[in-house]
Amino acid sequence: MELFNAADFLVHRRVRQGLGDKVAVIGSGVRTYQQLSDEVSRLAAGFRGLGLQRNDRIVLVMADDIEMASTILAAFHAGLVAVPVSTMLIGRELEHILRDSKPRAVVATEQYLPALLPAVEASNDVDHLIVSGCANDVLPRLSRRTVSVHAWAGIVGAFADPAEPEDAEDPALTRADEWALWLYTSGTTGTPKAAMHRHASIRHVYESYGRRVLGIRPEDRCLSVAKLFFAYGIGNSLFFPLAAGATTILQPARPAPRTMCDRIAATAPSLFFGVPTFYASLLQAEIPDTSFQTVRLCVSAGEALPVAVQTRFRQRFGVDILDGIGSTEALHIFLSNRPEDICPGTTGKPVPGYRIEIRDTDGRIVERGTPGDLYVSGDSIALGYWQRPGAEQAVFHGDWLRTGDTYFVDDAGYYHCLGRSNDLLKAGGIWVSPVEVEQRLLEHVAVADAAVVGVPNADGIDKPVALVVCAPGHEHVGETELIDWCREGLAAFKLPRAIQFTEQLPKTATGKPQRYRVRQWWMNRTAEMTTVTSAAVPPSPDSLVSTPRW
């Protein structure tokens, strides 16, 4: 069995190759490859000093900065499992992940402690809480005394001299197919679950997409809107630049057009990674047309890139956008346009190293031009879902991954996205389960029934909206009240952008909501969604005409 450690591949081998003085990471500070290698080694030794053992999980709730990059790499180095999770999640969502992943340690940036601490208190598995950006004398105190609290800098500083054998360890002798990274996703079933990735998968996504599609080279500098807790973001900001001996630029702050443009001006990236929602917002922002003058190529993923956004961006900023599709289960992009072969309105062609098939509901490959389910096979496909056998059986089929997307391929070999094969939707490139949002609405005393769907905004990008049936005696509940209710129980990207009211939802004979009919009604509305109120004329169920999606 092949021995392979992702931290050695990404960082330490560059030092052995004599690139120690090259800048590896720019965040709030700067690290050369030598400095990053030393920090990763010391942090890994610190994790071992806390008693963490091979394959123990470390959950990260951290800002995109050097500390997060080092923590992920140190977990790889030590043979532990890095589990970066979204900083947008609220307490009960974090509690679910801690309960499911059973981590021995949690590493957090100080600003996320208010949401995280209750989840740590409720966990019976967490032994150590490590806080970045917090001095020893102001560390939080937990009522559960079995949890030890440490300063991140203290863990690194405990092993200050990596040159001394007793202070540092060589990278763990991990197998290529051993756990390295778990990424939580709602994927194709709606329930958050961990896709388990191997050390070797990190090398594969670099060799396939990073090297053979992007053509990333040592002089490149990468900047990503998507954060490190996303599969898309961790490839953009960690795997690709470090594997190529290039430089990654991290943005700790929340991405916004102005702040990202300021970051571009200050750091001169050559590769920029975003999602369609963000590219649309850049076009609407009052920023200079020269903002992307150092960028040789932009990349988009997360959801289909509207042709209008792609065309307008090229005309205004003078940079091409490569549209592609990936998934958490595949770790990164497996179907993409190429720098020399961009076909607007399509997702391009298969990335080298991946096989793509479009199948019908019986699993048979369909003819060109015929819509069907998109399947992908390649060496970066996850080992499966942690403790989710039912979901695993629905998604993983031998060497093949059923993506949950509906596609057709044209006569020229370009793949066209027709949406999701089920009811899940994406908001800003992030999966949203309509069931989860509906359940939150149904927890409100005024809601008797609800259906959540995604509809395109003015830029052609889906956003969640809801159709609600009021409970008797609560007909005067308003849209704002229900959206605020959702805000208290859900991450912000899951919130319905608008709510309409009706007397009855369209449903199947078995009582399931017919979301395609709800979506069609929203699509046919002429009024702006932002002006919808509970006083608006409610739609009748008969007006929700059944119309095929394509």
Q: Quote the pLDDT of residue 508.
A: 59
User: Residue 548 and residue 421: Cα distance in Å, rounded?
Assistant: 13
Q: Quote the pLDDT of residue 509.
A: 53
What pTM, to 2 d.p., does this model score? Answer: 0.84
Judge whether residue 370 has pLDDT over 80: yes
Q: Residue 444: name the closest of 391, 480, 414 by CA.
A: 480
Q: Quote the pLDDT of residue 525.
A: 66
How confident is the model over 78-107, as a mean pLDDT?
95
Q: Report which DSSP code applies to 51.
A: T
Average pLDDT, the chain: 89
CATH number of 259-420: 3.40.50.12780
Residues 6+ apart with CB under 8 A from 293: 318
Judge whether residue 167 has pLDDT over 60: no
pLDDT tens, position by position, 301-326:
988 888 888 999 999 999 999 999 99
Q: Quote the pLDDT of residue 435.
A: 75
User: Residue 404 and residue 419: Cα distance in Å, rounded?
Assistant: 9
Q: What are phi and psi of 530, to 5 degrees?
A: -70, -10
How confident is the model over 513-532, as a mean pLDDT?
67
User: Residue 348 and residue 224: Cα distance in Å, rounded?
Assistant: 21
Give the DSSP per-residue string, 217-263. -TT-EEEESS-TTSHHHHIIIIIHHHHTT-EEE---SPP-HHHHHHH
Tokens of 401: 């991954």
Residue 429 banded pLDDT, cuts 50, 70, 90: confident
Q: Could you give the C-alpha distances from 430 to 34, 173, 509, in angstroms and in order?
A: 35, 35, 31
**pLDDT > 90 fraction of the chain, expressed in percent and rounded:** 72
pLDDT tens, position by position, 172-218:
999 999 999 999 986 555 568 999 999 999 999 999 999 999 999 99
Residue position matching structure tokens 């005696």: 473
Give the DSSP per-residue string, 54-78. TT-EEEEE--SSHHHHHHHHHHHHH
Q: Give the bridge partners for 405, in sequence order.
A: 420
H or E segment at 299? strand 297-300
Give the DSSP per-residue string, 177-198. TSEEEEEEE-TTTSS-EEEEEE
Q: Could you give the C-alpha distances from 115 to 61, 86, 91, 141, 476, in angstroms and in order?
A: 10, 12, 5, 15, 32
Judge whether residue 541 has pLDDT over 50: no
Alpha helices in 107-198 (DSSP H): 113-122, 152-157
Angle, to 10 degrees, between the axis of helix 276-284 and the axis of helix 257-267?
A: 90
CB-neighbour burial class of residue 121 (10 A; exposed 0-12, middle 13-18, buried 19+) = middle
SS3 of 355, please?
A: strand
Query: What residue ranges of the chain are covered by domains with CATH 3.30.300.30?
Result: 425-543
Q: Quote the pLDDT of residue 526.
A: 38
Which strand ranges, in their side-by-side order, compose the sheet holding 57-61? 148-151, 128-132, 105-109, 57-61, 81-84, 179-185, 193-198
Biggest alpha carbon distance in the chain? Answer: 76
Angle, to 10 degrees, between the axis of helix 276-284 and the axis of helix 307-317?
A: 50
- Parallel/antiparallel/unpaired status of strands 271-274 and 462-470: unpaired
Q: Quote the pLDDT of residue 120.
A: 95
Q: Count CA atoms within 13 Å of residue 204 on its CB side.
A: 22
Are 128 and 57 contacting, i.e. CB atoms less than 8 angstroms apart?
no
H or E segment at 296? none
Residues 6+ apart with CB under 8 A from 112: 61, 62, 63, 87
Tokens of 425: 């939707």
User: Residue 371 and residue 522: Cα distance in Å, rounded?
Assistant: 24
Q: Quote the pLDDT of residue 524.
A: 79
**CATH 3.40.50.980 is right for the domain spanning 6-18+34-175:** yes
Question: Which CATH entry fits the domain spanning 425-543: 2.60.40.10, 3.30.360.10, 3.30.43.10, 3.30.300.30?
Answer: 3.30.300.30
Q: Which residue has the higher pLDDT, 251 or 302?
A: 251
Q: Give the bridge partners for 456, in sequence order.
A: 462
Judge whether residue 292 has pLDDT over 90: yes
Q: Residue 270: name the closest of 247, 300, 243, 302 by CA.
A: 247
Q: Residue 326: name the closest of 373, 376, 372, 279 by CA.
A: 376
Residue position matching structure tokens 């039912």: 390
Query: What residue ranges of the chain are covered by domains with CATH 3.40.50.980?
Result: 6-18+34-175
pLDDT tens, position by position, 432-468:
878 788 878 988 999 988 899 988 887 778 889 999 9
Q: Quote the pLDDT of residue 528.
A: 44
H or E segment at 419? strand 415-420
Residue 169 banded pLDDT, cuts 50, 70, 90: confident
Q: Residue 213: name the closest of 238, 187, 181, 235 by CA.
A: 235
Query: What residue ranges of the chain are covered by domains with CATH 3.40.50.12780?
Result: 259-420
